[in-house]
Amino acid sequence: MKKKEKQSRNIRNGINLKLTASVLFSFLFIILASASSLATLDVALSDQGSEVITIATGELVDDGDLTVTIYDSLTGGTLIYSETFSNVIDDGSWNVMLGEDTSNLLSLEYGKKYFKDYTINGEDVSFIDFNGDPVARSFFIHLLVM
């Protein structure tokens, strides 16, 4: 009788061990799948600018087109996103949403640095860094906000 009890107990323990391993593996798989799906997200970002002036005259840009490009590096790098907005600059200001067009999604990775550049009426915009030196692009970091 003791031998059968021991065999029965060993079988139950083996089943419990397999069940536990199966549950842990499933849980780990779900966590890893969720983490990878959060790595890159399609987002919509609000983008505004003001006091846009024409360098030659010093006057506010009265009416203009805006192209926004996003790269993964300050110079060179890979183009992540580009969108042109027609007639969005009015009296030196604009307010647009990036990534809202379903045919041109903005996919960003959480916590990664990106670099934004603007072209206004066909002219590239210059940026100044914290040291007062000119740079090709302005940087930002994508942070998930819920």
8 Å CB contact between 139 and 115: yes
Contacts 24+ apart (CB under 8 A), 127-135: 135/74
8 Å CB contact between 67 and 89: no
8 Å CB contact between 69 and 114: no
Alpha-carbon distances, residue 124 vs 4, 63, 136 (angstroms) = 83, 16, 9
Among positive and negative, which fits the CA dihedral 118, 121, 123, 126?
negative
CA distance 126 to 133: 10
User: Residue type for 11, please?
Assistant: I
pLDDT by 10s per residue, the chain, length 146: 566 665 556 555 555 555 454 544 554 445 544 444 456 788 888 999 998 888 788 889 988 999 999 999 988 999 999 999 999 999 999 999 999 998 999 999 888 899 999 999 998 888 888 888 878 888 677 655 54
Most distant CA pair in the chain, distance: 102
Alpha-carbon distances, residue 36 vs 31, 33, 60, 63 (angstroms) = 9, 5, 45, 43
Q: Residue 52: its pLDDT value, please? A: 87
pTM assigned to the model: 0.68
